[in-house]
Amino acid sequence: MNCLLWFFYGLPIVHPNSTLVLTINGIGLVIEGAYIIIFIIYAAKNTRWKMLGVLAIQAAFMAAVVAGVLVGAHTHEKRSRIVGILCVIFGSIMYASPLTIMGKVIRTKSVEYMPFFLLLVNFLNGLCWTGYALIKFDIYITIPNALGTIFGLIQLILYGYYYRSTPKKGKNVELPTVLTRNAVTSGNVSVTIEK
């Protein structure tokens, strides 16, 4: 939904001269579409129908937004404001969603469920888009991405704080025990002789 709203925001009929926003979110839509198609192909029947229901709700919402903006707002400024506010809301939700795991990290003192590279890329993405938004001074791009940069930095700090207390997953290999009639034991080593 977030990518679709930003794509709409970047269209010349809404916010002229936003080629970068349009192209990057257009590529994002193609990639996300491929993921969704693969998911739907391989999902269980019940899950597939639930996902198609969610997609239908999102499509209806997006169609209502597009129709409302194009019919109700007749200037680029008004269209940019309406779609921009929606983009701020959904962009902020997107960046804030990983924050839900922070409580679990603090309770368990483990970063097992916080993948470092995802946190890093999330932070860098917010930083790059904030820089772009400040160059063009587009407040609608600045707000969610500045929040994303802050949220990403908080998560990276939390990761660094709890990284050492996270239990390491060792590769414990347990060999099968063979029970036979004759076993010879020497100290801590057990040797089994089969006949």
pLDDT at 176: 53
Torsion sign across C-alpha atoms 11, 80, 32, 143: positive
pLDDT at 173: 47
Tokens encoding 11: 């269209």
pLDDT at 7: 92
pLDDT at 119: 87
In the chain, the N- to C-terminal Cα span, in Å, equals 68
How many of the other CB atoms lie within 10 Å of CB of 21? 24
Q: pTM for this structure?
A: 0.75
Which amino acid type is present at position 134?
L
The Cα 65–Cα 14 span in angstroms is 12
Are 123 and 98 within 8 A, CB to CB?
no
Low-confidence ranges of the chain (pLDDT < 50): 173, 175, 180, 182-186, 189-193, 195
Map out the domains of the chain with their CATH numbers: 2-166 (1.20.1280.290)
pLDDT at 88: 92
Are 73 and 86 within 8 A, CB to CB?
no
pLDDT at 2: 86
Helices 19-42 and 45-72, interaxial angle, to 10°? 150
The Cα 1–Cα 113 span in angstroms is 25
Q: Compute CA distances 86 → 49, 78, 110, 153, 194, whole Å.
A: 27, 13, 35, 24, 73
